[in-house]
Amino acid sequence: MARRQRQTGALALVVTWHAGTSGAAVPSLDPETYREPQDGEYWGGSASSTRPFTEERLKSAELDRAGFDKRIMDGQVFVVEDAGKDWPMDGWDCEYFRNDPVFGKAEMNQQYAAGGGAPFVGFKSDWMDSKTASGAKDKDAPQVAPFYWGIKDVQYPDAQRSKTWKKAMLKKVQEHIRLPRYMDTANKRNFETTPEFWFAAGGAGAKAHMDTHVQATMSLQLSGTKRWRLSVMDERTAPFLAMIYKDGDVYERSEAWQPQFNLTLKPGEALFFPPGFIHETLNLGEADSCSASVTFQFTEPMAVGMYRRFLPRVRRTADIHEAWPMLKQWATLKSKADKKGMAYADAKSKALGESGAGAAFRKRDKDGDGFLSNEELNAAFGQDAKNMLGFHDLDEDGRVAREEFAEVFALWAGTVKAAYDDTPPKHRQLQLKDMEADFNIEDVAPKLQRQLMEASFKLEKSRQHAGGASSTDSEL
C-alpha cells in the first residue's frame, strides 16, 4: 500500500480571510457561508480523489510525537505497520486465550447479531462453530457476528458483563500494555482503562456502526487478517436528535454505502481512526481461521482540528452528541454561554468585547498582547491546553489571536443556534438538557426517536429540493 502524508491544515478554510487588529490573517467562519472540507481533498489527498481513499501507512520510526499528534488532531486515518513489534501481547491469538490459565476461565459474547447480543460462552467452548447471522443487508458486509470480550467493564458496577470477568484478568491485560513511544504518556491510563478484545471466525465481523465515544481509537491486530471499511459521518443540513448510525443502519439507506476507506490489517499492524467514523470489520481468513484484536480509546490529543472543521455536521449528528458539551468548553474557553447559541455577528461582537466570551479571553491573556500563548493556555487549562490551542489556532502558528478566537466562538455559537432553531419547538428542550445530570438523548423512547428522525430527514429533503446544500444520506 502506498505511503502518503496528507497536509490538512488549510483545507477547511474555504472562506474569505481578513486582517484582524492583532495583525493576524483571520478567515470569516460565518455558518451561513462556511463550507466544510470536501472528503476527497481532506481524507483522500486531493480534490480529484475517489472512494475508497488510500490510507497512510507508516513505520514507527517515521513517527514522532509532533507528527502523531498532528494526525490525530486533524482526524486522519492511518496504519502503523509495526506497532505490534515486540509488544507484550505478541502471540495472543485465539488459542492463547483458550489455554491461558487466567483468561481461559472467562466468557465472551457475540455482538452485532441480527437479534442483538447473544448469551455468554467460554473461551474454552466451541465458539468458533457458532455462526450467528449478522443480518447485514449488504452483500459485502460481514454476514456472521463476531465475539467480544469487554474486560474493561469490570471497572464499572453497572456495566453488562459476565460474572466470569475478574479484575485479575484486567490487571494481566494492563501488565501487557506498552504505550507507543510517539504517544503522550498520559495515554497510558487510557490504554489501561479501555481495552476490549474482538474475536472472529472467517467471514465474521462487526456491522457498520458509529460509536458515541469522542476520542480517537487504536486497534491492534493480534492474529489473523481483518478488513476495515470506514467513512466519516455524513454532512447534515438538519439537526438530528435520534441516532442514525446504529448497527447496520447505513446498509438500509436508499443509496448504497460507499466507504471512504477499505483497508486490511495484518498481525502487528495498528489502525488509528478518529471519532465520528462509521466502521465495519471482517475476518478475511478461511472459515476455520481466527482473527483476534485489541482496541483502545485515548484522549491525548483529541481530534480538535477535525471537530472544528466539521463542526456543522458534528453539532447536528446525535450519534456523537457526547462531544457537544466538550465543544462548548473549547469554544467558550470554559466560560458561560447561551445554550441556545447566538447569531454569528452577535457572537463575534461578544467575543471581541469586554464581557462574556470576550472577558474570558482577556482573563487568560495575561500579558495583554491580544494572543493566547502556549504558556497562558497551559496556566489556564493544564492538560486541555493543547486541545484549546488546536481548536482555535486557525493559522497554526502556535498561538490564538483574539480574532481567531472570535471567529471560532462565533462559528460554534451560530451553528448551535441554527440547530436549535431548526428543531421542532416541542423538542427543543432535548437540545438544552442533553448530557446534563442523568439525561441522555440516547434514552429517548423509541417512538419519539422515530418521530425525531422522520422530521429531520423531511427537513433535509425539503432543503435539497429547494437547492440547498445536499446530504449524502437518504431518508430511511
CB 307 within 8 A of CB 324: no
Task: Give me the pLDDT at residue 438, please.
Answer: 84
pLDDT over 60 (residue 207): yes
State how far Cα 174 lies from the chain centre.
Answer: 24
| Res. 2: pLDDT tops 70 | no
Per-residue pLDDT, 158: 86
Distance CA 266, CA 264 (A): 7
Tell whether the model's pLDDT for residue 295 goes beyond 90. Answer: yes
Of all residues in the chain, the percent with pLDDT exceeding 90 is 87
Q: How far are the Cα atoms of 31, 135, 200, 223, 443 from residue 277, in angstroms, in the given order?
A: 23, 21, 21, 24, 22
Q: What is the Cα–Cα distance from 29 to 12, expressed in whole angstroms?
A: 10
How does DSSP classify residue 176?
A: T
Q: Is 273 left (phi over 0), alpha (psi -120 to 50) or beta?
A: beta
The count of residues in the chain is: 476
- Beta-bridge mates of residue 221: 293
Other beta carbons within 10 Å of 294: 25
Residues 272-281 have a mean pLDDT of: 98
Predicted pLDDT of residue 283: 98
Confidence of residue 23 (pLDDT cuts 50, 70, 90): low
Indicate if the pLDDT at residue 32 is higher than 90.
Answer: yes
pLDDT of residue 22: 54
Residue range 312-339, pLDDT digits in tens: 999 999 999 999 999 999 999 999 999 9
Distance CA 325, CA 442 (A): 15
Give the mean model confidence (pLDDT) for residues 358-368. 98
Average pLDDT rounded to a whole number, residues 57-72:
98
Give me the mean pLDDT over the 376-405 stretch: 97
Residue 186: φ, ψ to 5°: -65, -20
Question: According to the model, what pLDDT value does residue 300 have?
Answer: 97
At residue 383, what are phi and psi to the nearest 5 degrees? Answer: -60, -25
pLDDT at 11 over 70: no
Nearest-10 crossing angle of helices 374-381, 357-364: 110
352 is written with which cell numbers?
Answer: 471581541
DSSP-assigned states of every residue in 91-160: T--HHHHHH-TTGGG-EEEE-S-TTS----EETTS-GGG---B---SSTTS--B--EEE-GGGGG-TTS-
- Please list the alpha-helical segments (H only) found in 382-445: 385-392, 402-422, 428-433
| Antiparallel, parallel or unpaired: β 25-27 and 17-19 | antiparallel
pLDDT digits (tens, 9 = 90+) for 65-101: 999 999 999 999 999 999 999 999 999 999 999 999 9
Answer yes or no: are the C-beta atoms of 400 and 389 closer than 8 Å: yes
| Mean pLDDT estimate for the chain | 92
Residue 259 binned pLDDT confidence (cut-offs 50, 70, 90): very high
pLDDT in tens, 144-199: 999 999 999 999 988 889 999 999 999 999 999 999 999 999 999 999 999 999 99
Segment 410-453, tens digit of pLDDT: 999 999 999 999 999 999 999 999 988 789 999 999 999 999 99
DSSP E strand boundaries for 246-333: 261-265, 270-273, 277-283, 290-298
Residues 392-405: tens digit of each pLDDT: 999 999 999 999 99
Span 98-125, pLDDT tens digits: 999 999 999 999 999 998 777 899 999 9
pTM over 0.95: no
The predicted pLDDT at position 437 comes to 79
pLDDT for 3: 41
How confident is the model over 226-254, as a mean pLDDT?
97
User: What SS3 class is residue 49?
Assistant: coil
The helix or strand, by DSSP H or E, that contains position 222, with its residue range, turns out to be strand 216-223
Q: How far apart, in whole angstroms, are the C-alpha atoms of residue 247 and residue 210?
A: 8
